[in-house]
Amino acid sequence: MSAEKLIHTMERLCKLHRSLLELSKQKTDIVVKGDMDALNQILKDEQAHIAAINKFENDRQAIAKIMIPTSAQPTITDCLEVIEGPEKDKLILLRTELLELIKQINEKNSLNQQLIYQSLQFVNLSLNLFMPQDEDINYGPMTHKVNVAKGLFNSKA
C-alpha cells in the first residue's frame, strides 16, 4: 500500500515539474520580449507550482519514513531496496524522469538568469547614455578648497 502511495506522489511530482519546465520555457520568451506584466504572472504561477511541489515532497518524505522507519531521512533509493516487482520498476522510471526534469529546469533557469542579467546591463548602459556622470578633469581651476591642517604655532603672527 505504501509503495502505491509513493508511486502516486512521485507521479504528481513529475507532473508538477513538467508544468514548471513549461513555465520556465515561457519565461524565456517573455524575458526576450521584455513583457513585464506577463513576467509577473509567470512568477506568480511558478510560486504556486513550487508550493504544490513542496506539499508533495513533504508527502513523499512522510511515506518514505513509514516505509523505512529506521532511517532519519529515507530517499527513493532507500525505498527501492524494500520494494519488489513492477512497483520497483515504475518507481525507478519515475525517479529517473524526475531527475531529468529537475536538470532541465535548472538549465532553463540558468539561461533565464543570464538573460535577465544582460537586460539589466542594457538598461544601466542606456541610463548612463541619457544621464552621463560629470567627470573630474584635472585641467583648469580647482573647484573645491583643500583644507590645510593648521598647527598650534602660527608663524605669520
CATH number at residue 89: 1.20.58.300
**Residues 74-97: tens digit of each pLDDT:** 889 888 888 888 999 999 999 999
The set of cell numbers assigned to 96 is: 529517473
Domain count within the chain: 1
> Is the separation of the CB atoms in 104 and 21 below 8 Å?
yes
**Residues 36-89: tens digit of each pLDDT:** 899 999 999 999 999 999 999 999 999 999 998 888 888 898 888 888 889 999
The Cα–Cα gap between 61 and 83 comes to 16
pTM of the model: 0.76
- Triad 24, 61, 21: Cα angle to 5°: 10
Q: Is residue 156 part of a domain?
A: no
Residue 148 has pLDDT above 60, yes or no: no
- Over pLDDT 90: what percentage of the chain? 53
Q: Is residue 151 part of a domain?
A: no
Q: Is residue 116 part of a domain?
A: yes
